[in-house]
Amino acid sequence: MISLDPRTKIILLGFTALFSALIPNGIYLIVWISLTAFLGIMLGRIGKTIRAAIIFAALWLFATFVLPMLSGVAHTSLLVWLGLVFKCFPCCMMAGIFIETTQIGEFMAAMSKWKIPRSVVIPIGIMFRYFPTVKEDWSHIKDAMALRGINLSPACFIKNPGTVIDAMYLPILVTASKASDELSASAITRGIENPSRRTSRLDIRIKPADVGAVILFALALIIGYLLTVGGRI
Amino acid sequence: MSIELKNVNFSYPDTKVGTLNDINLSIKKGEFVLLAGESGCGKTTITRIINGLIPGFYGGNLLGEALINGKKVSEYKSYELAKVVGSVFQNPRTQFFNADTDSEIAFGLENAGEAAKTINDTLGKVTKDLNIEALRDRDIFKLSGGEKQKIAFASVYAMNPDVFLLDEPSANLDTKGIEGLKECLLKIKKFGKTVIIAEHRLYYLYNLVDRVIYLKDGKIEKEISGDEFRAMDKSTLNTMNLRSNRYIENKIDDGKAYENKENAGLNIKNLSVEYKKRIVFKNVNMDFVPGKVYCITGQNGAGKSTLLRSICGLLKVSEGEILINGLKANKKDLIKKAFMVMQDVNYQLFSDSVLNECTLGVKGFNSEKVEDTLKEMGLIEYKDRHPNTLSGGQKQRLAIAVSLMMEKDILLFDEPTSGLDYGNMLLCAEFIKRLAKKGKIIIVVTHDEEFMECCCDKKYSLK
């Protein structure tokens, strides 16, 4: 098991974005997904990484063996859809690993080492913090809607779309703005606006594992690029 | 570390609530001061002036001077003040920034740029001092409210400020959580820290308080010494619209599931519920008849919310059954008959006006009924207001109005008195009693003994 500096993870995410932008869908995608899965497992996010890899494998098998047998509209629309999914898959998987294996404080301290201003880092940090809160809020709101006889079924939506939409976004808006106010107040009174360099209780340094990971992914990107541009795959 | 407010006047930009008029107050080092008074009397405003959130964060018009150690609060930068004044807030859910407990406790130190070793040493010391070693390295989202509040406290304590400010820290805690909070407060009092606490629930501060500042309509109405406060009896406090200074042990009958011969009301038989593959409770038997107010108590994690959700038809029952008037009710029947007023009522208000809120999703209403219901709940004068601009108690009554419009017979309340002052708590009890008289089945989950004393007929405790 290893741990990586948040900066390394950002670089790897950048590589993955480059990969998706430069290299067309093809067999090389499997290499990249395998590398990402390996990274995820090494970082200790085992279950979800394996699940993502299996989903990818299933889609890939479908695209290779089942899709050619189809024809007409089904073929075209599935082809387009799968093409899009394969384009997004590497980035989503990497981003998932990044978010789940990085603590907010660690991220903020690493950004501070890159001298990124707090006005940029703090909102990103709050966003990180906010995801699980939305999940909690959402389950309460779903309950509240059910008690009023509103649900998310298509039938209910078609009957009165306005009500369903109001019932969804109003409570989210109200609770979110209240929560973000309270969160900010609590952060300010604990000195988040301090302009000096933020530290971390964790050891944030570029270690051999970071260098190794960057080299590995950089090589994979370069080789992949050369192979595809050369038209060999 | 002395604190002084000189001729302080303040008003918020868009509301009259929480205005201060000519406040003069000086607090010595090591003093434990309680700010008491009804909602909107300005006690929270005073804490915000001392920690600089007013005017820095909340804006408004501040006149007069606030001094900490002779230096104006406005001359401190927010992060300088953070080292001197530590603040703990009301809502445990929204005052942590990190997802794990260790990072949260270290948060202030990391902001101040301390070295990693110092931070980790302090982390060890703080958790030991506050007796929360068991909470280290945990996912904060999975902690109870009381545990979250302890972490919030520890995070402030780690920065070792001289002044601790607490704004209704007990509002969302159960009895055990309040007990934990009290221990933390005892500790810092012993260390000679200055403590300023704004609070409705007073009993847990009984032994701690050196002075009470009683506020009314933004003015200091009375200063009461600690001993005077301890000598005050319940009725004196209640006439000042304050809650009791002692723990009230109520003597309400424990409800027993009786032999139900008339098949009236709601009966829960051998109920077991699983949630997320975990058995939350097993073999629960409870009977509820219309016209009485039932309270359900129980420690955190005993499954009170899960029980409420299954009575509302929001959760599947894994074993046993729920009967309404002798007939077995499934999820669909229950959701038609039952309504829950949630602890955070903001989740269930969906409309842009009080009037529209009452009619949303209600089939075949007439305007007469809407008016009657709003009158009954004391909301008719607010009928064109946005629900969001109402006070906590008013929002609650609006949710009740909705349930009346939908003609629900079973009304459930989840911690209806959290964060309410004495007056609003009484009012809430009054409305609940009135609903029971109308023949509704009333079930209240609460840990507020004072509230139970006011209106509860029978109680069940969930173990």
Q: Map out the domains of chain B with their CATH numbers.
A: 3-239 (3.40.50.300), 290-315+331-461 (3.40.50.300)
Q: What is the pLDDT of residues B399-455, one digit of tens each?
A: 999 998 988 999 999 999 988 889 889 999 999 999 999 999 999 999 888 899 889
Neighbours of B411 (CB within 10 A): 22
Backbone conformation region of residue B67, classed left if phi is above 0, alpha if psi is from -120 to 50, else beta: beta
Query: Which of A182, A192, A193 lies nearest to residue B89, judging by beta carbons?
Result: A182
The DSSP string of B422-451 is HHHHHHHHHHHHHHHHTT-EEEEE---HHH
Is a pLDDT exceeding 80 seen at residue A233?
no
Residues 6 or more apart from B88 whose CB is under 8 A from it? B95, B149, B152, B153, B156, B164, B165, B166, B167, B169
Residues 6 or more apart from B300 whose CB is under 8 A from it? B144, B145, B146, B174, B176, B177
Residues 98-137 of A with CB under 8 A from B: 103-106, 108-109, 125-126, 129, 132-133, 136-137
pTM of this structure: 0.85
d(CA B2, CA B30): 9
- Mapped onto helix, strand or coil, the DSSP state of residue B34 is strand
Is a pLDDT exceeding 70 seen at residue A231?
no
Q: Which tokens in the block code for residue B230?
A: 């301890």
Is a pLDDT exceeding 70 seen at residue B295?
yes
Q: What is the pLDDT of residues B29-79, one digit of tens each?
A: 999 999 999 988 999 999 999 999 988 889 889 999 999 999 999 999 999
Task: List the single best residue of B80, B84, B94 to mutate versus A (max A Cβ within 10 A).
Answer: B94
Q: What is the pLDDT of residue B258?
A: 59
Average confidence score pLDDT of chain B: 90
Query: Residue B361 belongs to what H/E stretch?
Result: none
How far is residue A165 from each of residues A146, B228, B354, B356, B395, measured CA to CA in Å?
14, 55, 18, 15, 21
What's the ipTM? 0.86
User: Mean pLDDT over residues B354-359, rounded?
Assistant: 89
Q: What is the pLDDT of residue B263?
A: 67
Q: Going edge to edge, which strands form the sheet with B278-288?
A: B278-288, B266-275, B319-324, B327-328
Contacts of A192 in chain B (CB under 8 A): 79, 97, 111
Chain center to CA of B437:
27
| B369 to chain A, closest Cα gap in Å | 18
Query: Which of B110, B159, B313 lies nearest to residue A105, judging by beta carbons?
Result: B110
* C-beta atoms of B103 and A105 within 8 A: yes
Contacts of B107 in chain A (CB under 8 A): 105, 187, 190
CB B431 within 8 A of CB B377: yes
Q: What is the pLDDT of residues B185-243, one digit of tens each?
A: 999 999 999 999 999 999 999 999 999 999 999 999 999 999 999 999 989 999 999 99
The closest of B216, B177, B215, B176 to B196, measured between CA atoms, is B215
Task: List the single best residue of A160, A186, A196 to mutate versus B (max B Cβ within 10 A).
Answer: A186
Crossing angle, helix B145-157 and helix B116-129, to 10 degrees?
A: 130
Q: What is the pLDDT of residue A164?
A: 83
Q: Does A67 lie at the interface with B, CB-CB under 8 angstroms?
A: no
